[in-house]
Amino acid sequence: MEIEEILDKLLNNEIDKAEAIKEIKGFEDLGFAKIDTNRKERCGQAEVVFCQGKTDQQVIKIINSLRENNPCIIGTRLEKDRYEKIKDYIPNPTYNEAGRILISGEAPSVDSNLKKVPILCAGTADIPVAEEAACICEIMGSPVCRIFDVGVAGLHRLLSFKDKFEDANVIIAVAGMEGALPSVVGGLVKCPVIGVPTSVGYGTNFKGLTTLFAMLNSCANGISVVNIDNGFSAGYIANQINRTNL
Amino acid sequence: MEIEEILDKLLNNEIDKAEAIKEIKGFEDLGFAKIDTNRKERCGQAEVVFCQGKTDQQVIKIINSLRENNPCIIGTRLEKDRYEKIKDYIPNPTYNEAGRILISGEAPSVDSNLKKVPILCAGTADIPVAEEAACICEIMGSPVCRIFDVGVAGLHRLLSFKDKFEDANVIIAVAGMEGALPSVVGGLVKCPVIGVPTSVGYGTNFKGLTTLFAMLNSCANGISVVNIDNGFSAGYIANQINRTNL
Amino acid sequence: MEIEEILDKLLNNEIDKAEAIKEIKGFEDLGFAKIDTNRKERCGQAEVVFCQGKTDQQVIKIINSLRENNPCIIGTRLEKDRYEKIKDYIPNPTYNEAGRILISGEAPSVDSNLKKVPILCAGTADIPVAEEAACICEIMGSPVCRIFDVGVAGLHRLLSFKDKFEDANVIIAVAGMEGALPSVVGGLVKCPVIGVPTSVGYGTNFKGLTTLFAMLNSCANGISVVNIDNGFSAGYIANQINRTNL
Amino acid sequence: MEIEEILDKLLNNEIDKAEAIKEIKGFEDLGFAKIDTNRKERCGQAEVVFCQGKTDQQVIKIINSLRENNPCIIGTRLEKDRYEKIKDYIPNPTYNEAGRILISGEAPSVDSNLKKVPILCAGTADIPVAEEAACICEIMGSPVCRIFDVGVAGLHRLLSFKDKFEDANVIIAVAGMEGALPSVVGGLVKCPVIGVPTSVGYGTNFKGLTTLFAMLNSCANGISVVNIDNGFSAGYIANQINRTNL
Amino acid sequence: MEIEEILDKLLNNEIDKAEAIKEIKGFEDLGFAKIDTNRKERCGQAEVVFCQGKTDQQVIKIINSLRENNPCIIGTRLEKDRYEKIKDYIPNPTYNEAGRILISGEAPSVDSNLKKVPILCAGTADIPVAEEAACICEIMGSPVCRIFDVGVAGLHRLLSFKDKFEDANVIIAVAGMEGALPSVVGGLVKCPVIGVPTSVGYGTNFKGLTTLFAMLNSCANGISVVNIDNGFSAGYIANQINRTNL
Amino acid sequence: MEIEEILDKLLNNEIDKAEAIKEIKGFEDLGFAKIDTNRKERCGQAEVVFCQGKTDQQVIKIINSLRENNPCIIGTRLEKDRYEKIKDYIPNPTYNEAGRILISGEAPSVDSNLKKVPILCAGTADIPVAEEAACICEIMGSPVCRIFDVGVAGLHRLLSFKDKFEDANVIIAVAGMEGALPSVVGGLVKCPVIGVPTSVGYGTNFKGLTTLFAMLNSCANGISVVNIDNGFSAGYIANQINRTNL
Amino acid sequence: MEIEEILDKLLNNEIDKAEAIKEIKGFEDLGFAKIDTNRKERCGQAEVVFCQGKTDQQVIKIINSLRENNPCIIGTRLEKDRYEKIKDYIPNPTYNEAGRILISGEAPSVDSNLKKVPILCAGTADIPVAEEAACICEIMGSPVCRIFDVGVAGLHRLLSFKDKFEDANVIIAVAGMEGALPSVVGGLVKCPVIGVPTSVGYGTNFKGLTTLFAMLNSCANGISVVNIDNGFSAGYIANQINRTNL
Amino acid sequence: MEIEEILDKLLNNEIDKAEAIKEIKGFEDLGFAKIDTNRKERCGQAEVVFCQGKTDQQVIKIINSLRENNPCIIGTRLEKDRYEKIKDYIPNPTYNEAGRILISGEAPSVDSNLKKVPILCAGTADIPVAEEAACICEIMGSPVCRIFDVGVAGLHRLLSFKDKFEDANVIIAVAGMEGALPSVVGGLVKCPVIGVPTSVGYGTNFKGLTTLFAMLNSCANGISVVNIDNGFSAGYIANQINRTNL
């Protein structure tokens, strides 16, 4: 509800003053965490729990609290051994190992009316990040098309899949090393390309920094980037774009 | 045409071998530049000329060559004094000073069926970059809504415009200094946000690098970024997203 | 005593030459360490022992030496397993696990006449640093108010606590990632804000460097910063400010 | 006014709905700038105009707009030649050349009941930044004590002024090069020290970055820092601290 | 002559002791410069004068001294206006403006028995660096083949020239921005590719540093790199490789 | 086959349409990897498998797939313990421990008609990288000459081997620390020198970055560099150069 | 005088209390500068004025004040045009253009009993820094021996001067680019070598940073370094070392 | 012997040609290492073995080879557990644990005619590096004076030792964090100061880089620096300086 609407309701005695104040707040306070209860209404998606850097107890409490108002909650960056330790305290848990993703509850099924999101990666070592992106897309309802190991050193491999990605609504291009994949892809398509630099490489790769900067300097148009190894973010945005105007 | 289609036509004698080869090439060679004549077909947009770093003669020749097959060509990063020097050698020139953009030919008019793209900037000094984004959006057909000087140090200013940006298809958030604007905006909306770091700041701002990294580390979801001061790229992508599924 | 005062006393035979020399020195020499015996007189606070990088034996000897002239000595950055190993050799030891702080002797109780210092942090993973700041404040006598997990991606959470921090003497704002919290808070209050960047984040966060620079570039006024993860320093300064003019 | 207070007034018909909405907004919109009309109420200080990066016309319009509700407005980082060009369009202008500060209107006089803020700088070349800090302190009402050129290579110079700074509420220590001044000062006093790194130096000084990092790594307690060359911010914060509990 | 050979001659009285010593020295001393008179014998190429950072008088003296023993001397990084000032004091001067190269004396003509060295560049703004490489190749006798503006955003342009570069002995690939050109080329050929990063770009390009690192991280084999904008070095090495085993 | 040749064959019914398409593709798709089956034809060398960052299963599958069309496949950066785990699943495996290189199948024997490639390294700690380069050279057919521990702090050691490297076709110079070896060597020879920076060093060596930059800034001519610790790449390129014009 | 000595004199009435205090202070206060009047007694050398970053008036006043107690004062980093403007206000001025050094008063003549300090530089462009070092050495009494343009790309040049530097007390080695000169020299001598990195270079030289780091990582022993382009400091230290034990 | 001397002897039949050649070589070749047998003659000190990065076998072989011509050989950076493993294969081994130094043979005793070298360090955590410097000094014959834990936050501690360091020939100042110690010491003495930055610190200390840069930017004269944590180098140089003119 907009402020004006709340004020109207207040003036019309439809809600009382306490309700008006609570409506503006929009979260529940657990002390060490403030559960963002109206995130879904505001952002179209319930809070996603970034598990890295939180203790097991914190993850358990936050997810349980969020589940009170949401049929399905996602936790990211959760290593398998941590999942094993906490799964008994999570309602309806499932786990995607490749994407290191915990799902509590029933994920909505993929919407087959949506276009497939092509998820390309340059090398075999980039697959974990690409998988994180793919899982998030699917959990949020967008079908995907995995096209892995199509780096630019063997250009013909990439080009042979052109029909699979050239009519997409949005493409995710995951790469480490020199990060040239988004540039080459961007020069072949009409839709936006989300570049995901990975920390795959050594020496002057600087854990993905070179790749990131290379992608930001792309000579092709239509390319935006997310943080290094951030498959989650790429998948999240790709799903947003894929649903535009629907 | 796809390769298979070309081969079919070749086998059916619809085209001859020379035509088949030329169709695969898809550019004209001026020596110092290769004019990408099928960019529009491939990418949905004719080649945009990045004028910075090219001589006046090179800009003139490239634009004239591109105009042979395109009703409208855009040149970016062209300072006003350079425009004055070359405009007589450009067909149908107009100039947008705020965005430093040259247009040769008739830009398609804004498509009023499209949603407005909100373009926010944090401070008055960020306006030139925001304007570049806005101009590109408009030239490519997307209407925009300019919301300038709404940085997070006076949060109420931003919040009062929430109704203008919360239902958009995509938002552009331009900011220098600590670059917090996209994070705050991203926490309020359902659509993707394109962060544009600017080189506004001093000391440890490092000409926008701090702002760029801050945006990449946003705690909000749905945020991707483009290169520092790259208003063009943000506008280009925003228009792509804004037309998705139409 | 000022030099002049010492000279007067010397001339008046109130002290002898040896005493005059010792008075200027003001420390005791243990070889591997020089115990700063007049730190409290000079700085208002006895020496705080930074335990990281010192051997267990060194920590034990330094604390015991300091305790000869001080009723309470603090050791920071002491991991729990180290505490377990050395506690039997420390007089009157207590340990704060969250803050990794050792206290030898009786800490002065919190002075209820002082205003509460609000200690805000952006995310759950920032809590350890925030706790270090909070413990130091309390040990030094300033009461605190913990407001955790109020990052800017869910702005309404922060805003709902405004009454708890807007009348403070000084605020500590702890954040990782893009570090926007101090900027937003600084725009809402009259008092100085101490920004504490944390090394929470990944990729281009660079272990807190991005956060640090973002805070230094804040568009809001009244914000100064301390080193990355340096909760101790923030708590120390906050207590200094909180007692100004009393 | 707090939200609750506004709602009460609304319910009691003391204000109407339009007034309630405007009260929450709290700014005036000039298009290229949003004038933050309730900054003073919120932050205790009217908006300060950072002139660098704004056009002359923008500075003139913003200051005139702010003056409608404020008896005195400050503009910082305004070079003298720019001041000469715009002063005729500014109400009641005065200019502080050393601090590059424009004052429109009558600055409140220094409050002699406040303690003096000692402003130390290491070398003669640091004086401009130290002056900016000093001017801001004075304009905001805190008296200052300038102690310039007391770098640590001639320690006796600094020590001879100890009586002038050791009883202060807060100290500003400005330094370039190796930035050791705040560390040495911090070891001598009870109050907080604000370190201001300057871009004075060459080679590996990196325009102040080395100085900044050195200050952040100070072995003394009680030191926080502001951005490189940011005398304004140091002065602003020093005045805030100087008035604490009054 | 090797040391052993000199000793033999000395023992056989073919040379005297003074000659033996001078033969080991191998340079002439002008005070501010030591003319490397046996560079050609040692390295196959007379000393090349790097003009940037030397005064006009120094350039004139060094070239004249070198000319005493060499029919042709090259000066690099000499801007046109400097050339105009010094040309009257240089024997047999000619100037290549595109490559900023001065030639004193008669350059040996191109050796048509050698294979052509393909010199590719990604964009029009990279041409000056590519030209420097091309000029040096030609002056040193290797014919070249210029293929400019074939960046990876329009891949078909590059691919259409494949027959011109795929059978070369060595390829020079000049690029700015994301520097993907050498990777793509390297994946298509058998010979080594010399990557030359240029400082063309902005924002996070860091004057070519991103491009350099991207090239060093190439996923293709056979790629080595030279310093940013160092067309001279690329041309020099390409000519060395082109003559191997001849 | 070139496109034109394929089209001719197609028109002449020598191949059918399916074969024409497959010929253009040139790889086999295993899902997680695209096996580049025509790399050898294109680049003169079958795909080399970079094992670091791939799982054991992935390495096994890729090598077995590549072996279908190649008599010998190389895997690099494979630690000994990993080799022990996978060797039973690799056809005809041998292992070079110093170079961490796996060979599957029969490596072609060294071609004694080729010149030896001198491989110099500055210190004993640089030997592993130098060995990687040497092994690759030998596997690809070029004989080598190892000259280790000839750093510039004992110049006479290097100079005494001059006859072993001064007539080579190409030299590999491996060094850590200040990386001066390629500069000194480059000043003594006619052929190109490939500098390989190693991560040997500490403090400001930054894991080889200082060494890399020093090599890029060499005052000698003829020096190109590869990524830090990249012995593979240096060996690969050296073999390419060594075979030029044969 | 030591404190004890002062106290003795005070007790013996040889000096009064005011004199005792003044003796401890040891400087004169001009407001914007504190003249360090006992620097010569403390450090063996009167204060040297770093002119860069000071106004003309400040330089004039400081030098005149220092001259009251010193027969000769040095100003460094003073460009020639500035010297022309201020020389009429300086007592007994002379100017060394190559070293950009102002001398006020009579410099002590070179002490011929001291050993010569060899000052080597790698290239002609390094001469200005080398000259600054040489001038400072001479002004402070140490004779020097200039050996310029002996970079490691033509090793024989350096080696032919070995007899001129191998018996020195200390050597200054000035170099830009890869900075290998100190390493090679350090491997040939018994005495300490002071490395002076210069900002000569381009691309990845980073204005001397690469050179600095290369020198710090020298594989030779006995090498310490000073800041980039800091010829003054090298000359100052060399003279200190050259006089040790005399 | 100089070349001329060798030639004379050769001509006079005092040595034969083989001896002449060997004399110029001056090392013994073990394959993986070239033993620099005339280092002591050239540099006044036999080769010091940097053990880090070498295998146990390599260390053993190199030391044994060096011992053939030297009564005492030093190995640095050897951890205690490694020493335990290799000591049985080293002739006459002793070990200094604090300095991580292995001595094979009889170290010459300290020369009591030399002045003591004061070795200062700022904090207790800097002691290991300071000890390495002290051990090297002593092994090479210079007596030392350890003054530890005299950082600038408690200035009086440092000042009370002034009589112990102010008449030295050379001072070593070891510090981490902000690295201010050399600046303060340099302002108090006549002799050169060798600054040794340590990697003690956290956050923006960057493992000693901030400390290094701070020392290079010292406002005091007479300060040169060595690499981070490089106590060996500081001790080596201090001993060189301490013996100057003796």
Q: What is the pLDDT of residues E38-90, one digit of tens each?
A: 778 787 888 899 998 899 999 999 999 889 878 899 999 999 999 999 999 99
Indicate if the pLDDT at residue C238 is higher than 70: yes
Indicate if the pLDDT at residue C22 is higher than 60: no
Residue linked to tokens 């300064």: C237
Look at residues H40, H70, H105 and tell me which one is the last residue of a structural domain. Answer: H105
- What are the pLDDT digits (tens) for F94-152? 998 888 999 999 888 899 999 999 999 999 999 999 999 999 999 999 999 999 999 98
Tell if the CB–CB gap between D199 and B203 is shorter than 8 Å. Answer: yes
Nearest CA distance, E26 vs chain G (angstrom):
7
Look at residues B51, B83, B105 and tell me which one is the last residue of a structural domain. Answer: B105
Q: Is the Cβ of F183 closer than 8 Å to some Cβ of chain G?
A: yes
Q: Residue D69's CB: how many other CB atoms inside 10 A?
A: 14
* Domain-embedded: residue D111: no
* Inter-chain contacts counted by CB atoms under 8 A, chains A and D: 21
- Give the nearest partner residue to F212 out of A125, A127, A204, using CB atoms: A204
* Domain-embedded: residue F111: no
Is there a contact between G176 and G201 (Cβ–Cβ < 8 Å)? yes
- Give the nearest partner residue to H217 out of D152, D204, D221, using CB atoms: D204
Q: What would the mean pLDDT of C188-213 be, rounded to a whole number?
A: 89
Q: Which residues of C touch D43 (CB under 8 A)?
A: 186-190, 221-222
Predicted confidence at residue E22, as pLDDT, reads 56
Tell if the CB–CB gap between C4 and G21 is shorter than 8 Å. Answer: yes
Residue H70: phi and psi, rounded to 5, are -135, 135
**Beta strand pairing status for A223-225 and C34-35?**
unpaired
Least CA distance to B6: which residue of chain F? F7
Residue from H23, H34, H49 whose CB has the most chain F CBs within 10 Å, to mutate = H34
* Domain-embedded: residue H111: no
Nearest CA distance, F212 vs chain A (angstrom):
9
* Domain-embedded: residue C112: no
Tell if the CB–CB gap between C154 and A27 is shorter than 8 Å. Answer: yes
Tell if the CB–CB gap between D36 and B157 is shorter than 8 Å. Answer: yes
Same domain as D101, residue D128 = no
Residue from A25, A30, A32, A34 whose CB has the most chain C CBs within 10 Å, to mutate = A34
Least CA distance to E151: which residue of chain B? B34
**Torsion (CA) A35, A40, A42, A48 in degrees, nearest 10:** 60
Rounded to whole angstroms, the Cα distance separating A67 from A45 reads 13
pLDDT exceeding 90 applies to what percent of chain H?
A: 60
Least CA distance to G48: which residue of chain H? H221
> Are E and D touching by the rule of 3+ CB pairs within 8 Å?
no
Subunits adjacent to chain F (3 or more Cβ pairs under 8 Å): A, B, E, G, H
Residue E22: phi and psi, rounded to 5, are -60, -40
Q: Is the Cβ of D208 closer than 8 Å to some Cβ of chain B?
A: yes
Is there a contact between C231 and C129 (Cβ–Cβ < 8 Å)? yes
Q: Which residues of E touch H3 (CB under 8 A)?
A: 21, 24
Average pLDDT, chain E: 89
User: How far is CA C42 from each of CA A150, D146, G98, G192, H151, rounded to the nearest angstrom?
Assistant: 66, 22, 49, 42, 16
**Residue A110 region, left (φ>0) first, then alpha (ψ -120 to 50), else beta?**
beta
> Are G and B touching by the rule of 3+ CB pairs within 8 Å?
no
Indicate if the pLDDT at residue E178 is higher than 70: yes
Q: Is the Cβ of C208 closer than 8 Å to some Cβ of chain H?
A: yes
Rounded to whole angstroms, the Cα distance separating A135 from A74 reads 11
Nearest to B161 by CA among B180, B142, B184, B128: B184
Say which residue, D203 or B53, is predicted with more confidence.
B53
Residue linked to tokens 């993907």: E180
Structural domain span for residue B127 = 117-243
Same domain as D74, residue D14 = yes
Predicted confidence at residue B180, as pLDDT, reads 93
Give every residue of chain A whose pLDDT is below 70, as ranges. Answer: 1-4, 18-19, 21-26
Q: Is the Cβ of F236 closer than 8 Å to some Cβ of chain E?
A: yes
Q: Residue G39's CB: how many other CB atoms inside 10 A?
A: 22
* C210: enclosing H helix or E strand: helix C209-216
- Give the nearest partner residue to D24 out of A3, A11, A17, using CB atoms: A3
Residue linked to tokens 């992608």: A215
Same domain as G221, residue G145 = yes
Predicted confidence at residue A175, as pLDDT, reads 95
Rounded to whole angstroms, the Cα distance separating B116 from B134 reads 11
Q: Residue B164's CB: how many other CB atoms inside 10 A?
A: 14
- 3-class DSSP state of F174: strand
Number of independent structural domains in chain A = 2
Is there a contact between F179 and F210 (Cβ–Cβ < 8 Å)? yes
Residues 6+ apart with CB under 8 A from E199: E176, E205, E207, E208, E211, E228, E229, G203
Predicted confidence at residue F1, as pLDDT, reads 53
* F6: enclosing H helix or E strand: helix F3-11
Q: What is the pLDDT along chain D (246 residues), one digit of tens a residue?
A: 566 677 788 788 888 776 676 566 667 777 788 877 777 877 788 888 999 889 999 999 999 988 987 889 999 999 999 999 999 999 999 998 888 999 999 888 899 999 999 999 999 999 999 999 999 999 999 999 999 999 988 888 898 899 899 899 999 999 999 899 999 999 999 999 999 999 987 777 888 888 999 999 998 999 999 999 999 999 999 999 999 999
pLDDT exceeding 70 applies to what percent of chain G?
A: 95
- Give the nearest partner residue to D178 out of H122, H151, H218, using CB atoms: H218
Q: Is the Cβ of G200 closer than 8 Å to some Cβ of chain H?
A: no
Q: Which residues of C touch H149 (CB under 8 A)?
A: 32-34
Q: Is the Cβ of G125 closer than 8 Å to some Cβ of chain E?
A: yes
Nearest CA distance, F22 vs chain B (angstrom):
11
> What CATH number is attached to the domain comprising A149?
3.40.50.1970
Q: Residue E60's CB: how many other CB atoms inside 10 A?
A: 17
Is there a contact between F196 and F231 (Cβ–Cβ < 8 Å)? yes
Q: What would the mean pLDDT of C100-115 be, rounded to a whole number?
A: 91
User: How far is CA H97 from each of CA H51, H81, H83, H135, rounded to the nearest angstrom?
Assistant: 14, 10, 10, 10
Look at residues B70, B105, B140 and tell me which one is the last residue of a structural domain. Answer: B105
Predicted confidence at residue A79, as pLDDT, reads 93
DSSP state of G190: S
- Give the nearest partner residue to B42 out of A188, A194, A242, using CB atoms: A188
Tell if the CB–CB gap between B148 and D32 is shorter than 8 Å. Answer: yes
Tell if the CB–CB gap between E156 and B25 is shorter than 8 Å. Answer: yes
- 3-class DSSP state of F117: strand
Q: Which residues of C touch G20 (CB under 8 A)?
A: 7
- What are the pLDDT digits (tens) for B171-222? 999 999 989 999 999 999 999 999 999 998 777 788 888 899 999 999 899 9
- What are the pLDDT digits (tens) for A46-65? 889 999 889 999 999 999 98
Q: Which residues of B touch E127 (CB under 8 A)?
A: 32
Say which residue, C27 or H80, is predicted with more confidence.
H80
- Give the nearest partner residue to E3 out of H4, H11, H24, using CB atoms: H24
pLDDT exceeding 70 applies to what percent of chain E?
A: 95
Predicted confidence at residue F207, as pLDDT, reads 85
What are the b/e assignments for A94-119, b being 16+ CB within 10 Å?
Answer: ebbeebbbbbbbebeebeeebbbbbb
Same domain as E60, residue E140 = no
**Beta strand pairing status for A49-50 and A34-35?**
unpaired
Rounded to whole angstroms, the Cα distance separating B148 from B126 reads 8
Same domain as C76, residue C144 = no
Average pLDDT, chain F: 89
Same domain as D39, residue D126 = no
Nearest CA distance, A39 vs chain B (angstrom):
8
- 3-class DSSP state of C118: strand
Indicate if the pLDDT at residue C3 is higher than 70: no
- 3-class DSSP state of A125: helix
Residue G53: phi and psi, rounded to 5, are 85, -5
Q: Which residues of E touch F42 (CB under 8 A)?
A: 187-190
* Domain-embedded: residue G112: no
Residue D149: phi and psi, rounded to 5, are 65, 50
- What are the pLDDT digits (tens) for B62-117? 999 889 878 899 999 999 999 999 999 999 999 988 889 999 998 888 999 999 99
Same domain as E188, residue E148 = yes
- What are the pLDDT digits (tens) for F39-48? 787 878 888 9
User: How far is CA G45 from each of CA A24, G36, G119, G237, rounded to the nearest angstrom?
Assistant: 70, 11, 22, 12
Rounded to whole angstroms, the Cα distance separating A238 from A243 reads 9
Same domain as F157, residue F183 = yes
Q: Which residues of D touch G212 (CB under 8 A)?
A: 203-204
Cα three-residue angle B210-B213-B217, rounded to 5 degrees: 135
Predicted confidence at residue B168, as pLDDT, reads 96
* B115: enclosing H helix or E strand: none
Indicate if the pLDDT at residue C103 is higher than 90: yes
* Domain-embedded: residue F112: no
Is there a contact between A197 and A211 (Cβ–Cβ < 8 Å)? yes
> Are G and H touching by the rule of 3+ CB pairs within 8 Å?
yes
Confidence of residue F23 (pLDDT cuts 50, 70, 90): low
Subunits adjacent to chain E (3 or more Cβ pairs under 8 Å): A, B, F, G, H
Residue from F2, F30, F34 whose CB has the most chain A CBs within 10 Å, to mutate = F34
Q: Is the Cβ of H156 closer than 8 Å to some Cβ of chain C?
A: yes
**Residue E141 region, left (φ>0) first, then alpha (ψ -120 to 50), else beta?**
left
Q: Is the Cβ of C141 closer than 8 Å to some Cβ of chain D?
A: no
Predicted confidence at residue G6, as pLDDT, reads 74
Q: Is the Cβ of A97 closer than 8 Å to some Cβ of chain F?
A: no
- What are the pLDDT digits (tens) for H132-160? 999 999 999 999 999 999 998 888 889 88
Rounded to whole angstroms, the Cα distance separating F152 from F181 reads 6
Same domain as G127, residue G231 = yes
- What are the pLDDT digits (tens) for H68-126? 878 899 999 999 999 999 999 999 999 988 889 999 998 888 999 999 999 999 999 99
Residue from H183, H193, H221 whose CB has the most chain D CBs within 10 Å, to mutate = H183
Confidence of residue F12 (pLDDT cuts 50, 70, 90): confident
DSSP state of B89: G
Predicted confidence at residue F56, as pLDDT, reads 94
* Domain-embedded: residue E24: yes
Rounded to whole angstroms, the Cα distance separating G24 from G18 reads 10
* Domain-embedded: residue D110: no
Q: Is the Cβ of B237 closer than 8 Å to some Cβ of chain A?
A: yes
Same domain as B31, residue B74 = yes
Least CA distance to E195: which residue of chain F? F224
Same domain as D225, residue D124 = yes
- Give the nearest partner residue to E186 out of A153, A206, A211, using CB atoms: A153
Nearest CA distance, D119 vs chain H (angstrom):
19
Please report how many Cα atoms fall inside a 13 Å half-sphere around the Cα of residue A118, on the Cβ side: 25
Q: Which residues of E touch H7 (CB under 8 A)?
A: 7, 10, 17, 20
Q: What is the 3-state secondary structure (H, E, C) of chain E?
A: CCHHHHHHHHHCCCCCHHHHHHHHHCCEECCCCEECCCHHHHHCCCCCEECCCCCHHHHHHHHHHHHCCCCEEEEECCCHHHHHHHHHHCCCEEEECCCCEEEEECCCCCCCCCCCEEEEECCHHHHHHHHHHHHHHHHCCCCEEEECCCCHHHHHHHHCCHHHHCCCCCEEEEECCCCCHHHHHHCCCCCCEEEEECCCCCHHHHHHHHHHHHHHCCCCCCEEECCCCCHHHHHHHHHHHHCCCC
Q: Which residues of A touch D21 (CB under 8 A)?
A: 3-4
DSSP state of C122: S
Q: Is the Cβ of E17 closer than 8 Å to some Cβ of chain H?
A: yes
Tell if the CB–CB gap between F203 and H228 is shorter than 8 Å. Answer: yes
Same domain as G85, residue G13 = yes
